Amino acid sequence: MVSMLMNRRSSVGMAVSLLFACMGCQVTDFPLPWLQGSDLAVPSVAEARARYQTSSTVEVAVSGNVVEVSVTQPLQQLRRGGTLWAKVGPYVYLFTEESEALLRDYPGVSGIRVITRTSRRNTEVARAFLRRDALNEITWKRARNIAGRARKDGTRRPTLLEELIEWGQDHTEFTYSDQFAG
């Protein structure tokens, strides 16, 4: 009986050792079969920048597997639009065809972070992080529709901005500056 227990323990130990050895093989020239064909490409800074360069107020960086978009929001706009304009900023840039295409074309990108800052002191106003799997084909279509309507008519119809903010809060990880949105 004791001999059988010892054999089982050593079998389990050998199986675990073999598993770790196989995992270590990935570092060398022996690729693991379940990782074959996985292309986890991320864009270069230039490729990511080309997607978002609509104006001089946008800066784009790639940090690991996250694309980070920094947008300068005019202080005058924040004063005039108040909390509403402070909160909506990141979502205007997140829910776009450019963001959807970037996530589709580069499977290694885990998400896109948009940070809005003031034009005067470069103070952070808001940030939102959209995870790769947060939206599917149908919800992307809805997101682009909500954002497009907010961009087009949001000044005349603030409820469209509110709808975009609500959508963004439901689908992203976000923070707002107490100074602007508190």
- Asked if residue 19 has pLDDT above 70, the reply is no
- Which candidate, 91, 99, 95, places its Cα nearest to that of 51? 99
Query: Checking DSSP bridges between strand 111-118 and strand 124-131, what pairing results, if any?
Result: antiparallel
Query: Which burial class, exposed, middle or buried, applies to 15 when counting CB atoms under 10 A from its CB (0-12, 13-18, 19+)?
Result: exposed
User: pTM for the full model?
Assistant: 0.77
Q: Identify the helix (H) or strand (E) that includes residue 129.
A: strand 124-131
- Asked if residue 9 has pLDDT above 80, the reply is no
More confident residue, 31 or 50: 50
Please provide residue 36's backbone torsions phi and psi, each rounded to the nearest 5 degrees: -65, 135
Q: How many Å apart are CA 49 and CA 51, to the nearest integer? A: 5
Question: Helical H runs in 72-136?
Answer: 75-94, 97-105
Query: Checking DSSP bridges between strand 173-176 and strand 124-131, what pairing results, if any?
Result: antiparallel
Domain boundaries, the chain: 2-35, 45-181
Instruction: Give me the percent of the chain exceeding a pLDDT of 70.
Output: 77
Q: Among the listed ranges 26-30, 55-59, 128-132, 133-137, which one has the minimum average pLDDT value?
A: 26-30
Question: pLDDT of 121-154, one tens digit each?
Answer: 889 999 999 999 999 999 999 999 999 999 999 9
Q: How many Å apart are CA 79 and CA 104, to the nearest integer? A: 36
Question: pLDDT of 72-116, one tens digit each?
Answer: 998 888 888 899 999 999 999 999 999 999 999 999 999 999 999
